Structure formats: structure tokens, C-alpha cells
Amino acid sequence: MADKRYVGSGRKNGQYDITNISICLSDINNEDIKTGKNGKKYLSLSVGARKQPDEYGKTHSVWIDDYVAEEKELAPKAPAQRETADLPF
């Protein structure tokens, strides 16, 4: 896996379970944007808590999620077969 490409940061909002994040659009490349089967465009991001807040009080980091699922070759399914055991009915 390549080094993480950080594109933003965020801060946990008070006592609530909400994290506000900011994304730097200048750090995003066209190849980061994927087109889904529905024709819509998607940007996959990951958000993680920092061990320590930075000098600006930011508690979270945001980076490009570059995970690529392996393409598995699926074997064709055999049609369901009935057992030919002797049944009492």
C-alpha cells in the first residue's frame, strides 16, 4: 500500500459524536475520483483520530482511501441437483 495522501483534517465537536472535517480540493487528483456503476462520481476518503491534537486543535486526519479490492474469478455455479436417495414417500 502506498503512503497515505492526506487531504484534510477535522475536529471532534464538543461532547457530541460529531467530527467536522475540511477537505483541500487542490490536493485531490482526477484519478482519485471514481465513476460508479450508476454513472455518479465518487471520492473515497478515510477519517482517523489522531493520537494527539495538532497545534490547531485538530483531532482527526482525512486521507484518500486507495484500497482496491481484488477481483476474484468466480466459478460458474452448477445447477442444483436433487439427491437420488431412496425416499419413503
For residue 71, pLDDT over 90 is answered with no
pLDDT value of residue 69 = 73
Whole-Å CA distances, 76 to 25, 46, 69, 70, 79: 43, 35, 20, 18, 9
* pLDDT tens by residue, 27-41: 999 999 999 999 999
For residue 17, pLDDT over 80 is answered with yes
Assign 87 a pLDDT band (cuts: 50, 70, 90): low
Q: Is the pTM of this model over 0.75?
A: no
Mean pLDDT of 63-78: 75
Lookup: cell for 71: 477481483
Find cell 495522501 and name the residue.
5
